[in-house]
Amino acid sequence: METISKETLVGQLRDLGVRAGGVLLVHMSFREVRPVEGGPEGLIAALGEALGPEGTLAMPSATGDDETVFDPATTGNRDDLGIVADLFWRMPGVVRSPHFDAVSARGPKAEWITGGPFVLPPAAPESAIDRIRQAGGQVLLLGVGHHANTMLHLAELVGGAPYRSDFHYIDDAGREVHYGENDSCCEKFELADGWLRAEGALRAGRVGHAEARLMEAEDLVRIAAAKVKADPLIFLHGADEDCEECDEARESL
Ligand SMILES: [Zn+2]
């Protein structure tokens, strides 16, 4: 496969609608994007160039380890967030939230986005995810579906989704703290794609070799929260569909 140059990547990002000076939250599978000039670092550089010096780049940086105290300087990302996000939080100039449900960011709004209050469930109003929305941010899905689109967990909460599955983390004193999280298998998050397209709120294209989708966080939360408000269980598989995670969510009601 052809290696995509950094210049082409920047052009693809701009054509898709990534705004210079904006805030951009990226969820990606590098396997879908590659090969690109400079590898994962080259892709991060292209994202930075498309955003320009006044732009802020953000990526998910939560841990998958709920048995140890989270240390933002040493605790790795959850495996499924991919190698680019795991490389990004370790880079100079990147800041990371000081709690397990972390976001990492670089740029003028990075401190504000990652420095907000620790709220539960993850992605609740005032979380880093919500601050990305408040900052007029965009969400970019690179080679991944909406199941990876964390902003939809905020939309669930805003829309009043009632289910909560049991999760825990270890606090600074070493205690196991339980909390309820609006979680499911997230497969049905893909519904958001059609909702956004119907309102002309989704831009699709190609970045590197990956299918890329870009949306305004504000549009996504507004549109999806309205759907959840109308049908609070819209993101859960039905009881007859044999989905363990969605069943657990439904059993919490
Ligand atoms: Zn499910």
Confidence grade of residue 16 (pLDDT, cut at 50, 70, 90): very high
- The domain tally of the chain equals 1
Q: Is residue 69 part of a domain?
A: yes
Query: How far away, in angstroms, is 205 Cα from ligand 1 center?
Result: 28
Residue pLDDT, tens place only, 83-130:
999 999 999 999 999 999 999 999 999 999 999 999 999 999 999 999
Residue pLDDT, tens place only, 155-164:
999 999 999 9
Query: How far away, in angstroms, is 237 Cα from ligand 1 center?
Result: 5
Please state the rounded mean pLDDT for residues 63-71: 95
Query: How far away, in angstroms, is 231 Cα from ligand 1 center?
Result: 16
Please state the rounded mean pLDDT for residues 131-146: 98
Query: How far away, in angstroms, is 67 Cα from ligand 1 center?
Result: 25
Averaged pLDDT score across all residues of the chain: 97
Query: How far away, in angstroms, is 253 Cα from ligand 1 center?
Result: 16
Query: How far away, in angstroms, is 249 Cα from ligand 1 center?
Result: 9
Query: How far away, in angstroms, is 159 Cα from ligand 1 center?
Result: 19
Q: Is residue 183 part of a domain?
A: yes
Query: How far away, in angstroms, is 148 Cα from ligand 1 center?
Result: 14
Q: Is residue 72 part of a domain?
A: yes
Residue pLDDT, tens place only, 175-213:
999 999 999 999 999 999 999 999 999 999 999 999 999
Please state the rounded mean pLDDT for residues 3-19: 98
CA 49/CA 184 separation, integer angstroms: 36
Under a CB-based contact definition with an 8 Å cutoff, are residues 60 and 27 in contact? yes
Query: How far away, in angstroms, is 251 Cα from ligand 1 center?
Result: 13
Token pair 């989708």 is at which residue?
213
Under a CB-based contact definition with an 8 Å cutoff, are residues 140 and 24 in contact? yes
Query: How far away, in angstroms, is 93 Cα from ligand 1 center?
Result: 38
Of 203, 231, 204, 232, nearest in space to 219 by CA: 203
Q: What does pTM read for this prediction?
A: 0.98
Going by their DSSP bridges, the two strands 203-207 and 165-170 should be labelled as: unpaired
pLDDT at 75: 96
Query: How far away, in angstroms, is 144 Cα from ligand 1 center?
Result: 17
Confidence grade of residue 235 (pLDDT, cut at 50, 70, 90): very high
Confidence grade of residue 167 (pLDDT, cut at 50, 70, 90): very high
Q: Is residue 63 part of a domain?
A: yes
Query: How far away, in angstroms, is 241 Cα from ligand 1 center?
Result: 8
**Full residue range of the structural domain in which residue 146 is found:** 6-251
CA 206/CA 12 separation, integer angstroms: 7
Under a CB-based contact definition with an 8 Å cutoff, are residues 110 and 56 in contact? yes
Q: Is residue 1 part of a domain?
A: no
Confidence grade of residue 80 (pLDDT, cut at 50, 70, 90): very high
Query: Which run of H or of E encompasses 125?
Result: none
Q: Is residue 141 part of a domain?
A: yes
**Contacts of 128 by beta carbon, 8 Å cutoff, 6+ apart:** 58, 97, 101, 102, 103, 105, 113, 114, 116
